[in-house]
């Protein structure tokens, strides 16, 4: 049998945390925004149309990412006692740092070099690929948590 994702005390803290429902709202919102932005970025790269809208959509996606990362750190602190790299979410947090770095690189280049839209969009695609890998990690981890809870019950 797999080790439970949360101890009994951590589960109580998780369920009591104000950040748990915040994460539950921000995660699907971020995914929704990412799909819209991905469409806009790909449309721009394929047609050359809508670079401004695609660029703005990546900024919105990045801002939501920062919000979910900050609130996620607060959640992790409440549940596990540390802001990042708790044992239960070490690899998810590690990949999250790559995702944050790529989105930050996008933002820096977007504002520092405004005339390089193709480069911006290519970086956005790499950032989104990393984001999808990270999202899959979290979905997998929470699926395992659910299965371990069901097995314990």
Question: What would the pLDDT profile of 9-68 be if each residue is shown by its tens digit?
Answer: 998 999 999 999 999 999 999 999 999 999 999 999 999 999 999 999 999 999 999 999
Q: How confident is the model at residue 152 (pLDDT cuts 50, 70, 90)?
A: low
Whether 44 and 124 have beta carbons less than 8 Å apart is answered as no
Identify whether 150 is part of a domain: no
Q: pLDDT band for position 2 (50/70/90)?
A: low
84 pLDDT above the threshold of 60: yes
Judge whether 3 lies within some domain. no
Question: Structural domain tally of the chain?
Answer: 1
pLDDT at 153: 66
Assigned domain for 44 exists? yes
Range of the domain at 107: 8-145
């Amino acid at each position: 049998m797999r080790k439970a994702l949360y101890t009994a005390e951590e589960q109580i803290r998780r369920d009591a945390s104000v950040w748990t429902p915040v994460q539950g709202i921000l995660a699907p919102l971020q995914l929704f925004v990412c799909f819209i932005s991905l469409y806009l970025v790909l449309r721009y790269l394929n047609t050359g149309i809508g670079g401004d809208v695609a660029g703005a959509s990546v900024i919105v996606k990045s801002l939501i990412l920062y919000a979910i990362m900050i609130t996620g750190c607060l959640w992790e602190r409440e549940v596990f006692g540390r802001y990042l790299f708790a044992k239960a979410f070490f690899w998810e947090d590690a990949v999250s740092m790559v995702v944050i770095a790529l989105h930050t690189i996008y933002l820096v280049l977007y504002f520092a070099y405004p005339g390089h839209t193709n480069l911006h969009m290519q970086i956005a695609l790499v950032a989104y690929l990393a984001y999808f890998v990270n999202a899959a990690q979290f979905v997998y981890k929470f699926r395992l948590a659910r299965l371990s809870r069901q097995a314990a019950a």
